[in-house]
Chain A
Amino acid sequence: MTGAQLTQLLQSAVFFGTVIMYGAIGEILTEKSGNLNLGVPGIMYLGGIAGLAASFFYEINTENPSAIVCLLLSFIAAFLASALGGLIYSFLTITLRANQNVTGLTLTIFGGGIANFFGGSLNTMAGGVGQISVATTSAAYRANIPALAGMGTVGTLLFSYGFMVYLAIILAVALHFFLTRTRKGLNLRAVGENPATADAAGINVTRNKYLATCVGAGISGLGGLYYTMDYIKGTWANDGTIEALGWLAVALVIFATWKTVNAIWGSYLFGLLFWMYLYIPGLTRSSQELFKMLPYLVTIAVLIFISLRKKRENQPPASLGLAYFREER
């Protein structure tokens, strides 16, 4: 592999990793509250389509769309739409105590349906399949500082990305700080570990679960936004990629052993594993597909490893997947 190829591989790993990092850190926040939300793919879909739709309508109705407005509109729309997905999940699982797995899977069906339905319609409105494009917004998402990005290999590796790549890292670190160093974070973790204890300590279990799930969904949805705006440059394709990435994000949560800082390098590693096949000489098209199995196999290995070692700090939140009802006796 040449140096240029290696740079290219690392760069693709970062692009790829960023999408799933958002998905994973949002889901970590959710799971820390004890909610196993298998609706991540659906939520990422919601984020992607909402961001795209918001900037699409703004761009076609405005003579000279302003990059800042494009950015803000799509960002807020993506976050809110995804959080709304989280709200549906929260209402059903927390208030109405529906089964978490089934509700999450339904949300994935629903989110994918909404996104591809409107995505298809937007394509039609824009004049045909693959015609939709939000050039201004996408450019704003992909903007970097040329002076820095131009600094040779280092510049390419570190500074050639749109702002959301850096935002993901900042968010991951901030969430780690929130979860481990603040009272609210401690309270939230207690809810996921042992809701009865948290309840007895005067923590509002319901509110914590709602907030963590909705904000977590909002963050996960940014992964969908990053995918549409940056990764595929402001277009829409009904090809199911977001769903596959969404499941990979769920895998990453396990791989990161429920710690957002681990998700940073974990996501890039997944990206690396995913794209590696392009750079390994002599692979046929079929064996490339086998290579793409790697992230999942690695996750399974991690899952087995943590169940073997039983180190208390690496386990999933103790009440993950269970509904809480105080007057149960």
Chain B
Amino acid sequence: MSSVKQHKEPLLRIAKRDGISRSKAYAIRIVAVILSLVISGIFIFAVTKLNPIQVYEAMFNGAFGSSRRSWVTIRDTMTLLCIGVGLAPAFKMKFWNIGAEGQVLIGGIMTAGLMRAYGNSIPTPVLLVIMAAASLLGGCVWGVIPAAFKAKWNTNETLFTLMMNYVAIQLTSYCVALWENPFGSNTVGQINQQTKGGWFPALFGQTYALNVIIVLALTIGMFLYLKYSKQGYEITVVGDSENTARYAGINVKKVTIRTMAISGAICGLAGFIAVAGASHTISTSTAGGRGFTAIIVAWLAQFNTFVMVLISLLLVFLQKGAIQIASQFNLNDYASNVITGIILFFILGSEFFINYRVILRSGKEGEAK
């Protein structure tokens, strides 16, 4: 007992907040986003010596500079949002579905396969329904497999769903090699490019209107499902405490499997939208990491599907903007991932200041950064 330090009190202490007003919480988040933009600006300036304001201007131009660009931005936002909406029930149940990437691809494979086979023999509206059903089923199966093992033997779902992604990626590569067109290109090419069989039709003169309609309907539906339905209530209880769920007579295994079936199915549907409603082809980049990005979307929105709309839009905006600055300033478009990373780091970090307060030695309390 020789070296007992003799100081008054630790410099910083951390305590859980009893609660925080909604406006204050958003203020903290906005400060975080502004800070991250400043840091990103410094990064851009450091590597390119370009005026960051100009760069951000160019980014905006890239995302919303023309009606076509805006629609592409909206289209991609919808795809990302759809995956995020799919993940929401799983995460609310505290089931770490890292497997959206795979579930999207399986949905994509189902869609592309049907589109190749029946695109010119079945009328498009009927085919669309069939493809949607098949992609829902595919994603559902991909989600239920890890859920069933979790329910039965408590197999770690984070790692299981992660592995399922790569099984799906290889399956996609297999299909690409199988359906290659033209021969030797190692791509499938646009399916039914001439006839547009199985493509989303333009509605109200807008190519991507159907994407928006489907995804927004899902967004509203999922919000209502989680908040007001009996099943949504069961998900909340299971996510909070499995013991409480059992106490209330909820079959935890059944809810786990059912919820992952829904989660996987919606992610599968996102694959359908990505193939039939956007790219009209299939490759491993049909998901292209969006299954992972959507995890971040769902988490940051804290399962509120309307907040997901904003976050998806922000991320897609960054991506589109970065592609623009890449060509305009002769950079490369991976800059978008750097900026996305920085912004997400800041938002993730800011949650701490919403949930905890920092008490300085003098008794003063630090609020944000």
Given A96-B349, A97-B352, A247-B162, also A117-B171 (CB < 8 A): no
From A42, which residue of chain B is reached at the shortest CB distance?
Answer: B341
Q: Are A113 and B167 in contact (CB under 8 A)?
A: no
A307 to B158 alpha-carbon distance, docked (Å): 13
Q: Are A109 and B159 in contact (CB under 8 A)?
A: no
Given A105-B296, A112-B334, A300-B164, also A96-B348 (CB < 8 A): yes
Given A307-B149, A308-B153, also A101-B96 (CB < 8 A): yes
Residues of A within 8 A of B177 (CB): 284-286, 288-289
A288 to B173 alpha-carbon distance, docked (Å): 9
B338 within 8 A of A: yes
Q: Are A98 and B164 in contact (CB under 8 A)?
A: no
**A238 shortest CB reach to chain B, Å:** 7
Interface string of B155-172 (1 = CB under 8 A from A): 110111011111101110
**B310 shortest CB reach to chain A, Å:** 17
Q: Are A106 and B348 in contact (CB under 8 A)?
A: yes
A36 within 8 A of B: yes
Residues of A within 8 A of B352 (CB): 95-98
Residues of B within 8 A of A116 (CB): 332, 334, 337
A92 within 8 A of B: yes
Interface string of A38-52 (1 = CB under 8 A from B): 100000000000000
Given A110-B337, A289-B173, A316-B156, also A121-B332 (CB < 8 A): yes
**B322 shortest CB reach to chain A, Å:** 9
Residues of A within 8 A of B159 (CB): 250-251, 254, 303
Q: Of residues A247, A254, A296, which shows the largest number of chain B Cβ atoms within 10 Å of its Cβ? A: A296
B174 within 8 A of A: yes
Given A98-B349, A308-B153, also A110-B342 (CB < 8 A): yes
Chain B: residues with Cβ within 8 Å of the partner, total of 55
A292 within 8 A of B: yes
Interface string of B328-341 (1 = CB under 8 A from A): 00011011111111
From B293, which residue of chain A is reached at the shortest CB distance?
Answer: A109
Q: Are B336 and A106 in contact (CB under 8 A)?
A: no
Interface string of A211-246 (1 = CB under 8 A from B): 000000000000000000000000000100000100
Tally the A-B contacts, defined by beta carbons under 8 Å: 163
From A247, which residue of chain B is reached at the shortest CB distance?
Answer: B166
A102 within 8 A of B: yes
Q: Are B170 and A290 in contact (CB under 8 A)?
A: yes
Q: Are A92 and B98 in contact (CB under 8 A)?
A: no
Q: Are B345 and A307 in contact (CB under 8 A)?
A: no
Q: Of residues B156, B162, B163, B170, which shows the largest number of chain A Cβ atoms within 10 Å of its Cβ? A: B163
Q: Are A327 and B15 in contact (CB under 8 A)?
A: yes
A299 within 8 A of B: yes
Q: Are A108 and B334 in contact (CB under 8 A)?
A: no
B299 within 8 A of A: yes
From A114, which residue of chain B is reached at the shortest CB distance?
Answer: B338
Interface string of A159-172 (1 = CB under 8 A from B): 00000000000000
From B349, which residue of chain A is reached at the shortest CB distance?
Answer: A96
A103 within 8 A of B: yes
Interface string of A261-295 (1 = CB under 8 A from B): 00000000000000000000000111111101100
Residues of A within 8 A of B367 (CB): none
From B149, which residue of chain A is reached at the shortest CB distance?
Answer: A304
B178 within 8 A of A: yes
Within 8 A of B (CB), among A88-135: 88, 91-92, 95-99, 101-103, 105-117, 120-121, 124
Residues of B within 8 A of A103 (CB): 345, 348
Interface string of B255-297 (1 = CB under 8 A from A): 0000000000000000000000000000000000100110110
B351 within 8 A of A: yes
A321 within 8 A of B: yes
Q: Are A117 and B338 in contact (CB under 8 A)?
A: yes
Q: Are A293 and B166 in contact (CB under 8 A)?
A: yes
A297 within 8 A of B: yes
B356 within 8 A of A: yes
A38 to B98 alpha-carbon distance, docked (Å): 10
Interface string of B132-160 (1 = CB under 8 A from A): 00000000000000000100011110111
A307 to B146 alpha-carbon distance, docked (Å): 12
Q: Are A98 and B348 in contact (CB under 8 A)?
A: yes
Q: Are B351 and A296 in contact (CB under 8 A)?
A: no
Q: Are A110 and B332 in contact (CB under 8 A)?
A: no
B114 within 8 A of A: no
B344 within 8 A of A: yes
Interface string of B176-193 (1 = CB under 8 A from A): 111000000000000000
Q: Are A106 and B356 in contact (CB under 8 A)?
A: no
Q: Are B170 and A102 in contact (CB under 8 A)?
A: no
A244 to B172 alpha-carbon distance, docked (Å): 14
**A269 shortest CB reach to chain B, Å:** 16
**B348 shortest CB reach to chain A, Å:** 4
Q: Are A307 and B155 in contact (CB under 8 A)?
A: yes
Given A101-B158, A254-B159, also A112-B170 (CB < 8 A): no
Residues of B within 8 A of A97 (CB): 352, 355-356
**Selected contact of A92 from candidates B153, B342, B348, CB within 8 Å:** B348
Residues of A within 8 A of B162 (CB): 38, 247, 250-251
For this complex, 13 residue pairs linking A to B, each with C-beta atoms less than 8 Å apart, are A91-B349, A95-B352, A98-B352, A105-B295, A109-B344, A114-B341, A247-B162, A251-B159, A251-B162, A293-B167, A293-B170, A300-B167, A304-B155
List residues of B whose CB falls within 8 A of some A CB. Answer: 14-16, 47, 96, 98, 149, 153-156, 158-160, 162-167, 169-171, 173-178, 289, 292-293, 295-296, 299-300, 331-332, 334-342, 344-345, 348-349, 351-352, 355-356
6 nearest CB pairs, A to B: A110-B341, A113-B337, A286-B177, A120-B332, A96-B352, A113-B338
Further contacts, 10 of them, CB under 8 A, given A96-B352, A117-B334, A308-B153: A96-B349, A101-B299, A105-B293, A109-B293, A109-B344, A112-B334, A113-B340, A114-B337, A286-B178, A289-B174
